[in-house]
C-alpha cells in the first residue's frame, strides 16, 4: 500500500500541469535555516575583522554596480536612481545592497530565488547552472509590480557549488501594459499589466537567448529600451560576479559564504536587541487612501503594532478588502518590503542593508484584503495602498520610539507618500514610440523632525538617495516641456511646532508631437494621505489641474512669470476661451494637445507638535521665503507682526496664542461626551466607504446599505466610471422628459 501511495504521489508530482504562485514562499520572510556548508564555514571563518573586511568589499561591489547602472542605464528610472544592486546567499536571502537606490526592490527578491530553488533547481528542463541568467517581473512571485525588471545571476565557487546570487533591479517603465509607461491604473485584471514573467531562465553561458529577447521586445512599446537595459543589467551583474571572484581569490569562497551568513544573523540579533529596548505594548494608527485611481473611494489601512520582548507584530487585519478590477492592490511581500524600508532608511540606517532587519517582524493580514491580495487582483498601482501602509507604520514607530532611551535617528512625522509625476507615452519628436515616467516622483517632502523642520521635496519614501532628473535630458528624449519644473507652492505645508517640508508644483505640456499623452497616479485629492505627529497637522489634499483649449506657448509670453503658478493660472484664468478644470489625481492616459497645461503639486511632509509652539521667527522666515501666506502666519501660527518689515511683536504674539489656548479649552469637549455625540454605528450615507468601520468584523461595500461579514468578501468589483457617468446623464435626461431610444 505504501509503495502504491509513493507511485501515486510520484505520478501526481510528474503530471502537475500548472505551477502558480507559491503562497507558502510568499508568506515566509524569515531567514532560511543554515545549510550544511554555512554551518561548517561559520565555524572556520568567524574572525570579526575578516568578516568586516569581506563585508565592506561586498558592499562596495554592490555600490559599484549601482553606479554603473545609473551611469549607463537607458530607462529614466535608471538615470535617476530608481534601481538597486544586491548580493544574496545561496538560499536566497539578501545580505548586502547598494546604499543608493530602492532597497525595497531587493527585499522582495527573496521569494523569486526561493521559487527558482524549489521548482527549477531539480527540474531537468530548467536547472541552475553557471552562466544561467534568470528574471522575474510578476508581482505574484516576489516583485512589486511589472515595470520593475531584474537580472538574476547565480554565482558558483571554484568547485562548482552555488555560492550566492547577484541581482540588479531597475524600474524600467514600459512593459506593454494597457496604458503606456508600465503602471496602468486602467488595468482591470493582472493580464492588462504588461509582460508578467514568473521566475524564468532567459539566458545561458552568460548570454541572453536571442529568441526570448525578441519576444520581450515585441511585447513592449519601446523595444530599444528593452534590449539596451537587459544588456546593461547583465553587464552590471557580470561585473559584480567578477569582483566577487577577486575577493574569493584573496579570502576564499568559504569566507564569503560565512560573511554573508554572519552578516544576516548578526543583523537580526542586533535588531532583536534594539526591539527589547522598546517599551512593551500596543500602538495603533489608521492611514486613508481616497481613490482607486478610477474613482474616489475611501479605503482604510489599519495597523495595530504589538511589541513583545524582541518581536514586533504588525497586524493589518481590519484593512479594506481588495478591489478585484482596480490596480491598487498589494501583494503581501510588497508590503513587507515597504515596511522594511521604514526601519532600514528611517529608524536604523546605521545597520547593514539586508533583509534580516525585518526578520523579527511578524505580519498579520486578511487574505483578500487590499494589502494581501489574491493572484487575480491587479497590482500595477499597489503603491496606492502599501505606501499608506508605510505611513501607518511610521506613526506607530514614532510612538514606540519616544519613550525609548536610545534612538538611532531623530523622531519623524510622516513623509509625503504619493508618486506625484507625469507618466507618459506616445510618439516622441523623433517618431519613436516611448513610454515611461518623469523622475518627479522622487520629489517627496520630508516630515518634520523632533527638533527641526522637514526638508522640501527631498527624497521618496522608498529610497534614500535619488535624483529629480534633468529637464534638458527629458526635453531631449521626449516632447515633454515643463514650463514650471520646480516651484514651491505657498501654504503647501504640514503645520506644526516644526513644519513638514513643502512640495513643488509642476506645470507641464507637450511640444513637437501630436500623439503624446500623460497619466497621473496619486490618491489624496479629498482626504490627505499624510498626517501630523504629536499635535502637528498633516498635508493638504492635491488635485490635478488642466487648462485645455489653449496653446500656452503662444499665450504665456503675455503673462508675467510671477503668475506662472497653479493658483495664478487657475484662479485668474488668464487665457480667454480656455477650459479650466480640476480632477482627482487618478488620470488614465490621455493625449495632450501641444501647449495644453497639466498641473500637479508635490505633497508636503507632516508637521510635528502644536503650531502655537512654533518659533515666531521661523514663521517670518517661511513668510520671507513665500512658503506660507500672511493668512497662515496669522490664523494657524497666530503670530503678531508688522506685515511690511516682518518684525515680530513678541508680547502680542504670546497674548494671541494664550487667548487661543483659552479658546481651545472653551470649544473642546470632554472625550467621553464627544465620542457619545460624534461616533456613528456605520459610515455616513453618501460617502463611498469600503472597509470596516468601528470593528473589523463588518465590511462596508460603498456605504451603510451594503455590508458583508469579514472573511466572506471575495473582493470589490467597481463599475466603470464612464458607465456611472452615462447613467447619471441619462437620469438627468429622463428628468427633463427626454427618453433615449433603446
Partner 1 sequence: MQVAITEYLEIDLDRERWRCRRCRRDLGSARDNYKRGLLVHDRDPREIHRPILDAERYRYTFAPDSKWCRILEYYCPGCGTQVETEYLPPGHPPTHDIELDVDDLKKRFAGSGQEPKP
Where does this chain touch partner 1 (CB under 8 A) — which range of 20-28, 42-50, 246-254, 601-609? 601-609
Is residue 548 a contact residue for partner 1 (CB under 8 A)?
Answer: no
Judged by DSSP in three states, 472 sits in: helix
DSSP lists the bridge partners of residue 706 as 703
Stretch near partner 1 under the rule CB under 8 A, chosen from 122-130, 225-233, 362-370, 610-618: 610-618
The SS3 of residue 629 is coil
The smaller minimum CB distance to partner 1, of residues 249 and 582, is found at 582
Whether the Cβ atoms of residue 83 and residue 465 lie closer than 8 Å to each other: no
Q: Is 144 in the site for partner 1 (CB under 8 A)?
A: no
Burial class (CB in 10 A: 0-12, 13-18, 19+), 192: middle
CB of 309 to partner 1, least distance (A): 10
Write out the three cell numbers for 357. Answer: 532587519
Figure out which of the listed residues 525, 556, 578, 633 binds partner 1, where binding follows CB under 8 A: 525
364 makes contact with partner 1 (CB under 8 A): no
Contacting residue, 7, 273, 669, 725, with partner 1 by CB under 8 A: 669
182: left (phi over 0), alpha (psi -120 to 50) or beta: left
Query: What backbone phi and psi angles, to 5 degrees, belong to 352?
Result: -55, 145
- Residue 690 interacting with partner 1 (CB under 8 A): no
* Residue 686 makes contact with partner 1 by CB under 8 A: yes
Among 541, 551, 588, 594, binds partner 1 (CB under 8 A): 541
Cα(407)–Cα(194) distance, rounded to whole angstroms?
A: 43
What does the alpha-carbon distance between residue 429 and residue 514 come to, in Å, rounded to a whole number? 9
Phi then psi dihedrals of residue 406, to 5 deg: -115, 120
Q: Are 382 and 190 in contact (CB under 8 A)?
A: no
How near is the Cβ of 460 to partner 1 at its closest, in Å? 21
Q: Rule CB under 8 A: is residue 488 a binding residue for partner 1?
A: no
Closest CA to 611 of 596, 599, 628, 594: 628
Nearer to partner 1, 138 or 315 (CB): 315
CB of 394 to partner 1, least distance (A): 13
Handedness of CA 11, 12, 14, 15 (dihedral sign): positive
Among 542, 564, 575, 641, binds partner 1 (CB under 8 A): 542
Task: Examine residue 80 and tell whether it contacts partner 1 (CB under 8 A).
Answer: no
Residue 705 binds to partner 1 (criterion: CB under 8 A): no
Structure letter (DSSP) for residue 451? S
CB of 561 to partner 1, least distance (A): 19
664 binds partner 1 (CB under 8 A): yes
Q: For residue 386, how many C-alpha atoms fall within 13 Å in the half-sphere facing its CB?
A: 30
Are residues 457 and 501 in contact, defined by beta-carbon separation less than 8 angstroms? yes
Does 282 participate in binding partner 1 (rule CB under 8 A)?
Answer: yes
Please, which residue, 354 or 385, has the CB nearer to partner 1?
385
Cell readout for 453 is: 523642520
Q: Using CA atoms, how far apart are residues 79 and 97, in angstroms rounded to an integer?
A: 18
Q: Applying CB under 8 A, does 537 fall inside the site for partner 1? A: yes
Q: Which of 180, 378, 503, 532 binds partner 1 (CB under 8 A)?
A: 532
Residue 20 binds partner 1 (CB under 8 A): no
Restricted to residues 294-313, the positions that interact with partner 1 (CB under 8 A) are 298
Query: Using CA atoms, how far apart are residues 660 and 654, in angstroms rounded to an integer?
Result: 10
Binding mask 410-449 for partner 1 (x = CB under 8 A): ----------------------------------------
Binding to partner 1, residues 443-482 (CB under 8 A): 450
Report the largest interatomic distance among the alpha carbons of the chain, rounded to a whole angstrom: 96
CA 376, CA 214: separation in Å to the nearest integer? 28
Minimum CB separation of residue 81 from partner 1 in Å reads: 29
67 near 61, Cβ under 8 Å? no
User: Is residue 272 within the footprint of partner 1 (CB under 8 A)?
Assistant: no
Residue 485 belongs to what H/E stretch?
strand 480-488
Distance CA 290, CA 596 (A): 27
Which residue of 531, 564, 641, 700 would you call a contact of partner 1, by CB under 8 A? 531
Q: Does 601 bind partner 1 (CB under 8 A)?
A: yes
Q: Least distance to partner 1 from the beta carbon of 284, Å?
A: 5
As a residue count, the chain comes to 742
**In the complex with partner 1, which residue's Cβ is closer, 133 or 287?**
287
How many residues line the site for partner 1 (CB under 8 A)? Answer: 85
CA angle 518, 519, 522 (to 5 degrees): 145
Find the part of the chain contacting partner 1 (CB under 8 A) among 118-126, 160-168, 206-214, 665-673: 665-673
Give dist(CA 551, CA 569) in Å, integer.
14
271 is a site residue for partner 1 (CB under 8 A): no
Query: Is 672 near partner 1 (CB under 8 A)?
Result: yes
With CB under 8 A as the contact rule, the residue among 279, 349, 549, 711 that binds partner 1 is 279
Is residue 698 involved in binding partner 1 (CB under 8 A)?
Answer: no
Q: Which is nearer to partner 1, 249 or 571 (CB)?
A: 571
**662 binding partner 1? (CB under 8 A):** yes
- Rounded CA Rg of the chain: 27
Q: Which of residues 158-217 bind partner 1 (CB under 8 A)?
A: none
Task: Tell which positions 618-657 bind partner 1, by CB under 8 A.
Answer: 631-632, 636
Q: Is 503 in the site for partner 1 (CB under 8 A)?
A: no
Torsion (CA) 457, 461, 462, 463 in degrees, nearest 10:
50
Q: Are strands 597-601 and 689-692 parallel, antiparallel or unpaired?
A: unpaired
Q: Minimal distance in Å, beta carbon 727 to partner 1?
A: 19
| Cβ atoms 201, 133 nearer than 8 A | yes
Query: Taking the complex as a whole, how short is the minimal distance between the CB of residue 296 and partner 1, in angstroms?
Result: 8
Among 92, 194, 508, 683, binds partner 1 (CB under 8 A): 683
Q: Pick from 89, 175, 492, 509: which binds partner 1 (CB under 8 A)?
A: 492
406 makes contact with partner 1 (CB under 8 A) = no
User: Which span sits near partner 1 by CB under 8 A: 99-107, 431-439, 478-486, 611-619?
Assistant: 611-619
How far apart are CB 575 and partner 1 at their closest, in Å? Answer: 15
Distance in angstroms (rounded) separating the CA atoms of residues 401 and 407: 7
Chain residues 310-349 in contact with partner 1, contact rule CB under 8 A: none
| Member of 610, 622, 648, 718 binding partner 1 (CB under 8 A) | 610
Distances (CA, A) of 410 to 450, 454, 460, 500, 608: 6, 11, 18, 14, 12
| Binding string, residues 563-582; x marks residues near partner 1 by CB under 8 A | ---xx--xx--------xxx
Single out the residue of 34, 219, 527, 594 in contact with partner 1 (rule: CB under 8 A): 527
Q: In the numeric block, which cell numbers belong to residue 10?
A: 510520484
Distance CA 455, CA 464 (A): 13
Kindly state the cell numbers that stand for 566: 497653479
CA 633 to each of CA 351, 586, 605, 628: distance values in angstroms, whole numbers, following the listed order: 41, 32, 18, 7
* Binder among 528, 574, 595, 605 for partner 1 (CB under 8 A): 528
* Beta carbon nearer to partner 1, 26 or 301: 301
CA distance 612 to 594: 47
Amino acid at each position: 500500500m505504501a509503495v502504491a501511495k509513493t507511485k501515486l504521489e510520484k505520478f501526481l508530482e510528474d503530471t502537475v500541469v500548472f505551477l502558480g504562485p507559491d503562497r507558502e514562499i510568499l508568506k515566509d520572510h524569515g531567514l532560511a535555516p543554515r545549510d550544511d556548508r554555512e554551518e561548517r564555514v561559520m565555524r572556520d571563518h568567524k574572525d570579526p575583522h575578516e568578516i568586516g573586511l569581506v563585508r565592506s568589499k561586498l558592499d562596495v561591489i554592490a555600490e559599484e554596480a549601482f553606479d554603473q547602472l545609473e551611469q549607463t542605464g537607458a530607462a529614466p528610472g535608471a538615470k535617476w536612481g530608481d534601481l538597486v544592486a544586491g548580493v544574496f546567499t545561496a538560499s536566497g536571502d539578501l545580505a548586502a545592497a547598494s546604499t543608493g537606490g530602492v532597497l525595497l526592490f531587493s527585499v522582495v527578491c527573496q521569494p523569486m530565488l526561493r521559487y527558482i530553488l524549489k521548482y527549477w533547481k531539480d527540474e531537468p528542463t530548467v536547472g541552475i547552472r553557471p552562466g544561467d541568467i534568470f528574471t522575474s517581473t510578476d508581482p505574484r512571485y516576489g516583485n512589486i509590480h511589472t515595470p520593475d525588471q531584474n537580472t538574476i545571476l547565480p554565482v558558483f565557487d571554484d568547485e562548482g557549488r552555488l555560492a550566492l546570487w547577484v541581482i540588479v533591479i531597475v524600474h524600467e517603465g514600459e512593459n506593454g501594459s494597457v496604458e503606456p509607461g508600465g503602471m496602468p491604473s486602467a488595468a482591470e485584471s493582472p493580464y492588462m499589466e504588461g509582460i508578467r514573467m514568473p521566475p524564468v531562465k532567459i539566458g545561458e553561458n552568460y548570454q541572453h537567448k536571442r529568441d526570448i529577447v525578441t519576444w520581450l521586445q515585441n511585447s513592449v512599446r519601446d523595444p530599444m529600451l528593452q534590449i539596451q537595459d537587459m544588456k546593461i543589467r547583465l553587464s552590471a551583474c557580470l561585473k559584480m560576479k567578477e569582483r566577487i571572484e577577486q575577493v574569493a581569490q584573496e579570502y576564499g569562497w568559504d569566507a564569503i559564504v560565512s560573511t554573508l551568513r554572519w552578516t544576516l544573523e548578526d543583523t537580526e540579533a542586533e535588531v532583536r536587541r534594539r526591539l527589547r529596548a522598546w517599551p512593551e505594548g500596543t500602538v495603533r494608527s489608521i492611514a486613508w487612501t481616497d481613490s482607486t485611481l478610477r474613482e474616489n473611494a475611501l479605503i482604510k489601512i489599519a495597523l495595530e503594532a504589538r511589541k513583545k520582548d524582541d518581536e514586533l507584530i504588525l497586524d493589518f487585519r481590519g484593512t479594506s478588502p481588495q478591489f478585484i478590477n482596480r490596480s491598487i492592490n498589494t501583494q503581501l511581500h510588497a508590503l513587507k518590503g515597504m515596511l522594511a524600508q521604514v526601519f532600514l532608511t528611517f529608524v536604523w540606517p546605521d545597520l547593514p542593508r539586508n533583509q534580516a532587519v525585518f526578520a523579527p517582524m511578524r505580519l498579520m493580514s486578511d487574505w483578500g484584503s487590499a494589502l494581501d491580495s489574491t493572484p487575480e487582483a491587479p497590482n500595477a498601482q499597489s503603491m496606492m495602498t502599501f505606501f499608506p501602509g508605510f505611513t501607518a507604520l511610521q506613526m506607530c514607530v514614532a510612538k514606540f520610539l519616544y519613550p525609548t532611551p536610545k534612538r538611532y535617528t531623530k523622531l519623524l512625522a510622516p513623509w509625503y507618500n504619493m508618486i506625484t509625476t507625469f507618466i507618459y507615452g506616445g510618439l516622441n519628436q523623433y517618431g519613436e514610440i516611448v513610454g515611461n515616467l518623469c523622475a518627479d516622483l522622487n520629489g517627496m517632502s520630508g516630515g518634520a523632525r523632533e527638533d527641526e523642520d522637514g526638508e522640501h521635496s527631498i527624497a521618496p519614501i522608498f529610497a534614500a538617495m535619488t535624483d529629480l532628473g534633468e529637464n534638458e535630458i527629458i526635453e531631449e528624449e521626449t516632447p515633454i516641456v515643463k514650463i514650471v519644473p520646480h516651484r514651491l507652492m505657498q501654504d503647501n505645508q504640514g503645520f506644526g511646532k516644526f513644519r513638514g517640508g513643502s512640495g513643488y508644483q509642476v506645470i507641464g505640456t507637450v511640444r513637437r508631437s501630436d500623439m503624446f499623452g500623460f497619466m497621473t497616479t496619486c490618491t489624496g485629492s479629498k482626504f490627505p494621505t499624510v498626517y501630523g505627529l504629536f499635535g502637528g497637522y498633516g498635508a493638504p489634499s492635491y488635485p490635478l489641474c488642466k487648462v485645455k483649449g489653449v496653446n500656452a506657448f503662444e499665450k504665456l509670453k503675455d503673462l508675467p512669470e510671477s503668475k506662472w503658478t497653479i493658483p495664478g493660472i487657475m484662479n485668474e484664468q488668464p487665457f480667454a476661451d480656455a477650459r479650466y478644470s480640476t480632477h482627482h489625481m487618478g488620470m488614465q492616459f490621455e493625449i495632450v494637445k501641444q501647449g495644453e497645461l497639466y498641473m500637479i503639486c508635490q505633497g508636503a511632509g507632516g508637521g510635528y507638535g502644536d503650531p502655537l509652539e512654533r518659533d515666531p521667527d521661523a514663521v517670518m522666515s517661511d513668510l520671507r521665503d513665500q512658503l506660507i501666506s500672511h493668512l497662515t502666519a496669522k490664523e494657524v501660527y497666530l503670530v503678531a507682526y508688522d506685515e511690511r518689515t516682518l518684525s515680530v511683536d513678541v508680547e502680542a504674539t504670546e497674548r494671541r496664542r494664550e487667548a487661543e489656548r483659552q479658546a481651545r479649552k472653551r470649544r473642546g469637549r470632554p472625550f467621553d461626551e464627544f465620542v457619545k455625540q460624534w461616533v456613528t454605528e456605520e459610515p455616513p450615507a453618501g460617502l463611498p466607504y469600503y472597509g470596516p468601520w468601528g470593528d473589523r468584523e463588518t465590511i462596508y461595500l460603498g456605504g451603510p446599505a451594503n455590508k458583508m461579514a469579514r472573511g466572506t468578501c471575495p473582493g470589490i468589483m467597481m463599475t466603470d466610471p464612464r458607465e456611472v457617468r452615462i447613467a447619471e446623464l441619462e437620469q438627468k435626461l429622463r428628468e427633463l422628459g427626454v427618453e433615449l431610444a433603446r
